[in-house]
Amino acid sequence: FQENIEKATSCSRSPLVREAQLVCSAPQAKRQRQTSFKDDTPGLWKKSDQRYQPPSDYKLPPSWKGPEKCFQEFCLFSNPNFGEGMSLITTSRIAYLASKAPVTSISGLQPTAYYEAEVPGKGAGLFANRTIHRGEIIFQRHPVLAIQSTPHLDLDPRVREELYQAAIDRLPQETRARFLRQVGTTMYDKAEKNAFRIFLDGSRKHSPHLGLFPEVSKINHDCRPNIHYRITDFTHTTVAVRDIHPGEELTVSYIYGKTLHADRQKQLHEWGFNCTCSQCTLPPLEIGASDNRIRQIKALENEIETLMAHPGGKGVKPEMGGKLVELYVAERLDAYLAPTYTRAALLYSMFGSEERARVFATEAMAALEREVGPQAKDIESMRRLAEDPKGHWSWGIKVTSGTGASEVGRNETRRSGK
């Protein structure tokens, strides 16, 4: 990945695309902009439509239109009746999979639970109209437009703009209007400024897409957000990670939050704006304290990992898990608590500390559900730990002595499957 970044001449710079998920085009020298389209508009798409024949087993149901306006193996497919309407610029295979996918039930808050208003220096944003409780789903949506990365990066700009316009024209009027209200001067710019990186069809060659969710993209960035998002195939879910009070702005983080202030500013600046969020506008002394906490968090996580790699986890102490939770909470990293609670629950259980194992396992279950979703594998293990610590595989793997943690593992209660 690093190698790609260094060599790349153009990267998708969507602020909502996390750094580790950026898709960059190959160096220009090796990969020329490719377009097989001619300038005579009527024949512009037809020529390549004829050239590309999708396999017959990817035949779409009659409610879907396409393939049309193809570029290499990527074509426009659309269905105005799929949820709020959906246009795809993708392969026949992925369009076929989309056509077979259950229509994401559009759910979440009633529109009366929030309102849109201008935020100084940020454009429009969303605000709570009532208390939104931690764990409440804000939006559950499918993309109204998904664009495979290759045409987005490689198409000739003029052709690309026409193609995106055609994709939007095929959406129902209300959805189209919502799409057009997103920030950005051109269709391409709207995609760049508002898309989330989504992976359709597992981890195959053509999986990376830019997904546009116009309602979600009205949510501004904050380095210490009150909302977390997760994406599974076609479904984008936003969930409150703490209670949000009436009048408070709804925020997500466009970048990974556990980074130092200067790095966060740099990343967001590269993606087109100077961040004026609650964390970035703290007084300098508080920014310094926050950076220190992040350094402590990283050092402690490394220490736990190193110690756990030693035979019998020599030197690890349950209090390290407790301290880590404290630091995360003090740093308001509410959107990233699941692994921290899980680690703390297991550490306390390993040392036979029943009450703390229960408390952290209960917190871990809720955080896993928020951050990963109800299908998260570790939820079941944390549920068992919360209900019956002594029956859990981790219980008492290490014992505590009167003078603190003993390094002698008892190992007597490890049971597979728990």
Ligand X SMILES: C[S@@+](CC[C@H](N)C(=O)[O-])C[C@H]1O[C@@H](n2cnc3c(N)ncnc32)[C@H](O)[C@@H]1O
Q: Does 317 bind ligand X (CB under 6 A)?
A: no
Q: Closest residue to ligand X, Cβ-based?
A: 123
Using the rule CB under 6 A, give the single segment among 150-158, 172-180, 269-277, 305-313 that binds ligand X.
Answer: 269-277
Rounded CA separation 224/62 (Å): 46
Q: Choose, by CB under 6 A, the member of 87, 217, 342, 394 that binds ligand X.
A: 217
* 152, 160, 193, 332: residue in contact with ligand X (rule CB under 6 A): 193
Does residue number 248 form part of the binding site for ligand X (CB under 6 A)?
no
Residue 121 within binding range of ligand X, rule CB under 6 A: yes
| Residue 112 CB, nearest approach to ligand X (Å) | 20
When asked if residue 282 is in the footprint of ligand X (CB under 6 A), the reply is no
Q: Does 152 bind ligand X (CB under 6 A)?
A: no
Peptide bond into 246 cis (omega under 30): no
Shortest spacing between CB 201 and ligand X, in angstroms: 26
- Between the alpha carbon of residue 335 and those of residues 267, 282, 340, the distances in Å are 19, 20, 11
Q: Which ranges of 310-353 does DSSP label H, i.e. alpha helix? A: 318-330, 338-350
Tell me how far, at minimum, the Cβ of 238 lies from ligand X, in Å. Answer: 13
119/308 with CB nearer ligand X: 119
Q: Could you tell me if 350 and 322 are in contact, meaning their C-beta atoms sit under 8 angstroms apart?
A: no
Instruction: State the Cα angle at 4 between 24 and 220, rounded to 5°.
Output: 45
d(CA 68, CA 357): 57
Residue 122 in contact with ligand X, rule: CB under 6 A? yes
Cβ distance to ligand X smaller for residue 58 or 273: 273
Q: What is d(CA 183, CA 200) in angstroms, rounded to the nearest whole number?
A: 25
Name the minimum Å distance from CB 307 to ligand X.
37
Give me the torsion for CA of 288, 293, 298, 302, rounded to 10°.
130
Spatial distance between the Cα atoms of 364 and 356, rounded to a whole number of angstroms: 12
Pair 260, 161: CB distance under 8 Å: no
325-328 long-range Cβ contacts below 8 angstroms, 24+ apart: 325/360, 327/293, 327/296, 327/297, 327/300, 328/297
- Residue 145 near ligand X by CB under 6 A: no
How far is 184 from 191, CA to CA, in rounded Å? 8
Task: Report if residue 183 touches ligand X, rule: CB under 6 A.
Answer: yes
**Site residues for ligand X, window 349-388 (CB under 6 A)?**
none
Q: Does 15 bind ligand X (CB under 6 A)?
A: yes
Least separation in angstroms between CB 224 and ligand X: 11
Q: What angle do CA 179, 184, 185 make, to 5 degrees?
A: 110
Q: Does 123 contact ligand X by CB under 6 A?
A: yes
Residue 218 near ligand X by CB under 6 A: yes
The answer to whether residue 124 forms part of the interface with ligand X (CB under 6 A) is: yes
The answer to whether 140 contacts ligand X (rule: CB under 6 A) is no
Using DSSP's 3-state secondary structure scheme, residue 336 falls into helix
CB of 340 to ligand X, least distance (A): 25
Task: State the residue for tokens 């219980």.
Answer: 395
Out of 220, 226, 253, 381, the only residue in the binding site for ligand X (CB under 6 A) is: 220
Beta-strand ranges (E) seen in 222-336 are 227-232, 235-240, 251-252
259 lies in the binding site for ligand X (CB under 6 A): no
Considering the rule CB under 6 A, would residue 275 count as an interface residue with ligand X? Answer: yes
Per rule CB under 6 A, is residue 117 in the interface with ligand X? no
221 binds ligand X (CB under 6 A): yes
Q: Which positions lie near ligand X, rule CB under 6 A? A: 15, 121-125, 182-183, 193-194, 217-218, 220-222, 272-273, 275-277
